Each structure stands twice: as C-alpha cells, then as structure tokens.
Structure 1
Amino acid sequence: MKKITIAEMAKYNGQTVKLGAWVSNKRSSGKIAFLQLRDGSGFVQAVVVKAEVGDELFATAKSLTQETSLYVTGEVKEDERSSFGYELAVTGIEVIHEAKDFPITPKEHGTEFLMDNRHLWLRSRKQHAIMKIRNEIIRATYEFFNDNGFVKVDPPILTGSAPEGTSELFATKYFDEDAYLSQSGQLYMEAAAMALGKVFSFGPTFRAEKSKTRRHLIEFWMIEPEMAFMEHAESLKVQEQYVAHLVQSVLKNCQLELERLERDTTKLEKIKAPFPRITYDDAIKWLNDNGFDDIKWGEDFGAPHETAIAESYEMPVFIINYPIGIKPFYMQPHPDRDDVVLCADMIAPEGYGEIIGGSERIYDYDLMKQRIQEHNLDESAYAWYLELSKYGAVPHSGFGLGLERTVAWISGAEHVRESIPFPRLLNRLYP
C-alpha cells in the first residue's frame, strides 16, 4: 500500500493509497459520511459509503471527532466539484489518537481566544493558506536573489549598537557588556557587500515599539540586500523586480490558497515592474490638497497618510527623497539638495503600508563621521563601520523588506499577526 500525502493525490488517480491525516470536520447524510481531512500538505474530502464499507467501518467514520488523527485507505478519484480536484473513496480507517473537546470548533471565535490558542489555530484552513503563501514568498526570495548573483550572509542577532540610532531596542547583558537584540542587520550587510559584491540576509529583527496597530509586530523577519557599486536609482529597479517576482510566484504556485482566502487576484495580477514614484515633496502637497492638513513638510507619514497615497495607485508606489531630519544617519545626501536624502519607502496597495525602506548609503569617511556625531552616537561602537568608508569605499545601496507585512498584503490578511506562525505583540508573549 503506497503511503502518500494529500498534495500528491493527483499523481495517483484511480489507485488505492494510504493517507496519514487529521479530521478537520465531518458531516453525514443518511448512509454516506463525508470527512474533511488535512495532513499539512493540503485538505481533501474523504467519502465513506455504508453499503461499500459495512456497518462497523461506517460507525467508526461517523464517530470520528474533530482533530482525531488516523490512517485512511481508499481510492483516489477525480472530483470536478472540488477546487482541489480529487476526493478519496474510503475503504479503511485506522484511528491513531482520538481527540476530545478540541477548543476551536467550526464557529466564530474572538481574536484573543484564537491568539491564546495560536498553536491550534494554525491548523485552520485560512491560517494554513497564509502559512503556505508565506512559505512561497520565502522560496521565491531565495530564487530571486540566487538567480541574480547575490550571496546569502547571516548578520548577528546580538549587537553592540543600534543601526537605526533609536532607543526602541531590547537590551541585554553580554557577559560584562551591554548588548541589544538586532533591529536590522544592515550595517553588517554593508560590510559583507564590500567583500562579496551583492549580498542578502534573511533573519529575525526586534523592535521595542509600543504599538498596537495591525501593521506592527515586536519580532518580525527582514530580507536585507546590500549591493556594492550600485546607486539609488539602480536599487529601486531591483526592489520593484523583486516584489513583482514575489507576487507573480504566489499567483502561480498558490492558487488554491488564494482561492481559500477569497483574495481578489485581479489586483495582484497588475503588480508588475516598473512601479510609480512620487517625491516626498509632492506627497506632502498631495496630502495637504486632499484634506490632510495635519502633516507638514519635515514630518514622517502616519498610517492614514500612507493609505491615502497608496489608494491613488493600483501598484506599490515609491515615495522618494525624504527630509534628512527624519531618516537614519547613514543615508546619502541628495546631490542637488542638502535637505533630503537618496532614499525611498515602498508603500503597498490596499492599506498595508510600508513594506520596503531603502537608500543609497554614505561612503565618504568624513561625512559618515560627521553624521555619527550629529546623531550623538557612540563613535567607538561604530568604529568598525566607519572603516568601511576608509578602505576602498564605493557607492552602494540597499533595502529591507518586512516579510510579515508583505505576506499580509499578498494574502489579504486583515492583521499582520496572522502572517507569522507565533506573533509577538505588545502584551503577548504566549504561546
């Protein structure tokens, strides 16, 4: 007897196979029982016909409880009514473990209850679909950067300084020294780019930001490429090609998941490079002309501002050339202006906010030293970083993409907490 997964069923049409699965739901109609099975690779309906299996096996099928684990044998059959395309005609059931009183029943539950039971909520169809889309985005990320000559480099999670120069850090003791959980691997990736040309990292980052919005997490994952001999305009092209690749890969490889989430794929199908660009100056003017009198030049955008701008476009939009005063110390000044820097934020459509922040980096030693001093940073902690502009400095650019916001946008999830397996939120460290 061939043991297969649900995802492999198409290859075994007409054959009798064995599945290891859990019962996600069931219903019966007279002398037929319908079992909704899942095995991690997918979901399928198994049909148990009393006249074909006998009284004992049919009684077993009818008694199965939600999340009971079992081995099921049966014949794989095409089913045009199913979005999956196949069903299993059951000939045998072997119960492994009977689950009793599974807390997440097929009805509406409150958010806090579901978050308290996140370890079980992951089993639901919707959460399963979001995790599969997350996995596809990760796969496509490696594909894009590997195909374009990047080398993956892993920066440290424990650092001795703050790349963004902020106080939103988780501090800890590193033996007799102060250390912080990384809020970005960027500075280390710049060092790696000076050695390997084009690099990217993919790892966890931490922000001690006391925010409760649907866009924020305390712990999240970042993809951070850095590219030597690359100016800002060239970096924007890489960013839009990368994001377009992610979207098209999900459309191609996650059709069932997008359908399960009832995602409007017509909006995703439009996501192709190049993306529109708008300057910070023009964005401020547009906002002021459209009823947003609360923001003035020199201030950073809030969620309502980003959403309003994004709604004017059908694709992600770059907002470029922010004021120097609201951006980190390492960004290259604009060649024709001393009040803005060569940077961009990519704002996702449909109200999902910033998914990428990037810039050209300063590579002039004296200017970098001046910026560090102006931001009141500990120069000794950044001594190694300063040396990057001392020994063979070159123009270079990079960016960071937040994985969870990107997953939320592409999957259409209402809240970013659904786009990571076990979210860390303000006042939530369980489970």
Structure 2
Amino acid sequence: MKTIMIHEMADHVGETVRIGAWLANKRSSGKIAFLQLRDGSGFVQGVVVKEVVGEDIFKTARGISQESSLYITGEVVVDERSSFGYELQVSDVEIIREAVDYPITPKNHGTEFLMDNRHLWLRSRKQHAVMKVRDEIIRATYEFFHMNGFVKVDPPILTGSSPEGTSDLFETNYFDEKAYLSQSGQLYMEAAAMALGKVFSFGPTFRAEKSSTRRHLIEFWMIEPEMAFVEHAESLEVQEQFVTHIVQSVLENCSLELERLGRDVSKLEKIQAPFPRISYDDAIEFLHEKGFDDIQWGDDFGAPHETAIAESYDMPVFITHYPIGIKPFYMQPHPDRDDVVLCADLIAPEGYGEIIGGSERIYDYELMKQRIKEHNLDEEAYKWYLDLSKYGAVPHSGFGLGLERTVAWISGVEHVRETNPFPRLLNRLYP
C-alpha cells in the first residue's frame, strides 16, 4: 500500500492508499461519518461507512477529536460535488496522537485570541490558502527574475548605514559600535548590480515605525531588484511585467485557494501590463477635485489619498515624479525640473495601497555627496556607497516590492497580519 499526500490523489483514483493527516472537523449522520482531513498539501473528505469498516473502526472515527493526528487508509474516488474533486472512502483509521481541548473551535473567535494562537490558527483553511498564495508568489518571483537574466544576491541584515536615515531603524550593539537591522537591502544591491548587471534580493526587512494600520508590519519581506544601464522608464516596464507575471501565476496555480478565500478572480484577470500612469502633479489636482483639500503639493500621500486614486482604475497605477523633498537622498533628479525626481510608487487596486516603490538612482559623484550632506547623513558611513558613483558609474534603477501587501491584495484578505506566518506587529512579539 502506498502512502501519499492529499495533493497527489488525482494520480491514484481507484487505488487504496494511506495518508497521514490531522482532523480539521467532522460530522456524522446515522451510520456514516464524514472526516475533514488535512495534511499540509490540501484538504479532503474521508467518508467512513459503518457497514464497510465495522463497529470498532466506526466508533473510533466518530470519537476522534479536532486536530488529532491520524493515519487514514481508503480508496480514492472522484467527487464532483467537491471543489477539490476527490474524496477518500475510508477502510481503516489509526490514531497517532489524540488532541484534547483544541482551543480554536469551528466558531467565531476574536482577532487577539487568534493572534495569540497564531501557531495553531495557521492550520485553518483560510490561513492555509493565504500561505499557499504567498508561496506561489515567491515561486513566481524567482521564476520571473531568473527567466529575465537576474542574479539572486543576499544583502546583509545588520548594517552600519541606512538608505533612508536611521529614524525608523532598530538599533543594536555590534561589539564596540552601533548597527541597525536593515530597512532595505537597496544600497548593497546597487553595489551588486555594478558587478553582476541585473540582480535581485528577497529577504526580511525591519521598520521601527509605530504604525498599527492594516497595511503595516514591523518585520516584512521585500523583493528588491537593481539594474545597471536601466533608466526610469524601462524600470517601470520591468515592474509591470513582474506584477503581471505573479498575478497570472497565482490565477493559474492557486485557483482552489482563491475560491476558498472567496476572491473575485475577475478583478485579477484584468491585471495585464502596461499599467496606467499619473504624475504626482496630476494626482494632487485629481485629489483636490475629489474634495481632498487637506493635501497640498509637497505632501506625501496617505492611505485615503492612494485609495481615491486607485479607485479610478481597475489595474495597479503608477504615481510618478514625486517632489524631491519627500523622497530619499539617492533618487535621480528629473532632467528638466529641479523639484521632482525620477521615481514612481505602484498603487494596488481595491484599497491595498502602495506595493512598489522605485526610482532611477543618482550616479553623479558630486551630486551624491551633496545629497548625503543635505540629508545630514554621515559621509564616512556612506563612503563605500559613494565609491559606486566614483568608479565606473552608470545609469541604474531599482525598486522594492513588499511581499505581504502584495499577498493581501492578490488573496483579497483585509489585513497584512494574515499574510505573514508569524507577523510582528506594534506591541506583538508573541508567538
């Protein structure tokens, strides 16, 4: 007899197999028990018929408690009523370990309770589906960049300097000097791009930002490509092609998970490059027309402003050419204006906010020194970074995509806390 996983059942129709599983839920009707089983790869229903298995096995099946671990033997059959398409006609049940008083029952629980029990909440159907979508986005990310000639490079997590200053960084002691948990690998990726041409990183980043909105995490994962000899306009094309690729990959490979999440896939099916573009200047004018009198030229956009702009489109939209005063020191100035830079934020539809921030980078040595001074940064700490514009500088561009916000948008969940397996939030470091 072969031991298989649930996701392999399509290849074993008509065969008797064994699976290792946990009991997600159960119900019984007279002489039939229905076991909702999960093994990490998927969910399947096991049907236990008393006349088939006998009194002892049927009694065992009816008495199993939620989240007990089991070996289940049975025949794989087609079940057209199930979205999964198959079920298991059970012939034997072996309990590995009985779970007693499992805390998360099939009823409504408060968010704080579920977050306190995140290590168990992950087992639920919804959380399983979100994690599968996350995994597919990660898989598709590596696929896209490797298909397009990028090299994966890993920047350090402990750094002595920051791309955007140190006000929102976690400081730590590094022997006899200060160090910070990285808020971005960008500066190191620029160095890697000067060596390898087109590179990307994929790793954790940290923001000591006291924000508790549904869009913010303290620790989150970023995808950060950098590209030598690529200017701003071409970078936007890479960004929209990348986002299109991951959305279409999720549609193709996670249809069951999207259905389980109740996601309106018709909205995702529209996501195809090219994406619309609106300048910061036009965005300010648009917001004034919509009654947002609180926003003035030179202000950064908040969530309500981004949402209002996004609602005018059914695809992600680029907001380009932000004022120089609200963007980091490394962004290339506009060639015809001294008040804006060559940058763009990509705003997701349906109120999910910014998922990408990117720009062309400064590559003029004297201008970079000037910008570091204007931002009151320690030139000595950035000496290595200045070397990039001193020795063989070229036009180059890059961007960063926040994984958790992207997962939230594509899967349709409201809060980013559900898109990270163990989220770190303001005032939450447990579990």
Q: Partner of 1:177 in structure 2?
A: 177
CA distance in 2, matches of 1:201, 1:214: 25
Give the Cα separation in 2 of the matches to 1:414 and 1:119: 20
Per-residue Cα deviation, 1:11-40 (whole angstroms, up to 9, x for no partner): 000000000000000000000000000000
SS class of match (1:273) = coil
- Structure 1: tracts of 5 or more residues without a match: none
Cross-structure match for 2:68:
68
Q: Residue 147 of structure 2 aligns with which residue?
A: 147
Q: Distance in 2 between matches of 1:99 and 1:289?
A: 59
**Aligned mates of 2:160, 2:333 — CA distance in 1:** 26
Letter of the 1:92 partner, please give it: D
Q: In the alignment, is residue 209 of structure 1 matched against residue 238 of structure 2?
A: no
Unaligned 5+ residue runs, structure 2? none
**Which letter does structure 1 place at the counterpart of 2:48?**
V
Corresponding residue number in structure 1 for 2:263: 263
2:362 alignment counterpart: 362
Q: Which residue in 2 is equivalent to 1:37?
A: 37
What is the identity, as a one-letter code, of the residue corresponding to 1:164? E
SS in 2 for 1:366: helix
Aligned residue type for 1:226: E
Q: CA deviation at 1:204?
A: 0.3
Looking at structure 2, the residues matched to 173 and 30 of structure 1 have their Cα atoms a distance apart, in angstroms, of 65
Show the counterpart of 1:401.
401
Aligned-partner Cα distance in 2 for 1:274–1:257? 27
Please show how residues 57-136 of structure 1 align to structure 2 within 5 Å: 57-136=57-136
Report the alpha carbon displacement of residue 165 of structure 1 after superposing the two structures with TM. 1.7
Q: Are 2:359 and 1:372 equivalent residues in the alignment? A: no
| Cα distance between partner residues in 2 of 1:156 and 1:225 | 15
Deviation track 1:259-315 (CA, whole Å, cap 9, x = no partner) reads 000000000000000000000000000001111000000000000000000000000
SS at match of 1:346: strand
1:25 aligns to 2:36 (yes or no): no
Distance across 2 between alignment mates of 1:19 and 1:335 = 63
CA deviation after TM superposition for structure 1 residue 166, in Å? 4.2
Q: Which residue of 2 aligns with 1:198?
A: 198
TM, length-normalised to structure 2: 1.00
Deviation at 1:88, TM superposition (A): 0.1
Query: Could you tell me which amino acid in structure 1 is paired with residue 426 of structure 2?
Result: L
- Output one character per residue of 1:319-362: Cα deviation in whole Å (capped at 9) or x when no partner: 00000000000000000100000000000000000000000000
Cα RMSD, aligned residues only: 0.4
For the residues of structure 2 that align with 1:393 and 1:124, how far apart are their CA atoms?
51
Residue 386 (structure 1) aligns with: 386
2:179 and 2:57 mapped to 1: Cα distance? Answer: 61
What is the match of residue 218 of structure 1?
218
Q: Secondary structure at the match of 2:149?
A: coil
> Hey, what does 1:251 align to over in structure 2?
251
Question: After the TM superposition, which parts of structure 1 deviate over 2 Å for at least 4 consecutive aligned residues?
Answer: none
- Provide the C-alpha distance between the structure 2 equivalents of 1:17 and 1:6, rounded to a whole number of angstroms: 10
AA of the residue aligned to 2:303: A
| Cα distance in 1, alignment partners of residues 334 and 166 from structure 2 | 23
For 1:120, the aligned partner's letter is L
Structure 1 CA distance for aligned equivalents of residues 261 and 414 of structure 2: 11
Structure 1 equivalent of residue 335 of structure 2: 335
The 1-side partners of 2:141 and 2:299 are apart by: 33
Structure 2 CA distance for aligned equivalents of residues 44 and 337 of structure 1:
60
Q: 1:232-251 maps to which residues of 2 (within 5 A)?
A: 232-251=232-251
Q: Which residue identity lines up with residue 408 of structure 1 in the other structure?
A: A
Equivalent residue number for residue 416 of structure 1 = 416
Which residues of 2 match residues 288-327 of structure 1 at below 5 A?
288-327=288-327
Q: What residue in structure 2 maps to residue 51 of structure 1?
A: 51
Please state how far the C-alpha of 1:62 moved relative to its aligned partner: 0.3
Superposition deviation, residue 391 in structure 1: 0.4
Distance 1:112 1:253 in 2: 32
Q: Cα distance, 1:223 vs. partner?
A: 0.2
Alpha-carbon shift at residue 182 of structure 1 (Å): 0.1
SS of the counterpart of 1:367? helix
1:346 aligns with 346
1:113-147 CA-partner distances (Å, limit 9, x unpaired): 00000000000000000000000000000000000
Return the offset for 1:162.
Answer: 1.3
- What residue number does 2:138 align with? 138
CA distance in 2, matches of 1:410, 1:75: 36
Which deviations, in whole Å up to 9, do the C-alpha atoms of 1:80-135 show, x marking residues without a partner? 00000000000001100000100000000000000000000000000000000000
Query: Hey, what's the Cα distance between the residues in 1 that align with 2:70 and 2:424?
Result: 33
- The Cα offsets for residues 22-73 of structure 1, whole Å up to 9 and x where unpaired, read as 0000000000000000000000000000011101100000001000000000
Percent identity of equivalent pairs:
82
Q: CA shift at 1:170, angstroms?
A: 0.1
TM-score (norm 1): 1.00
- What SS is found at the alignment partner of 2:126? helix
User: 1:7 aligns to what?
Assistant: 7
161-170 or 235-244, which deviates more:
161-170
1:163 Cα deviation after fit: 1.1
In the alignment, the residues of structure 1 paired with residue 338 and residue 214 of structure 2 have an alpha-carbon distance, to the nearest angstrom, of: 35
**Partners in 2 of 1:290 and 1:47 — Cα distance?**
57
Q: CA deviation at 1:164?
A: 1.1
What is the one-letter code of the residue matched to 2:311?
Answer: E
Q: Tell me, what secondary structure is at the counterpart of 1:225?
A: strand
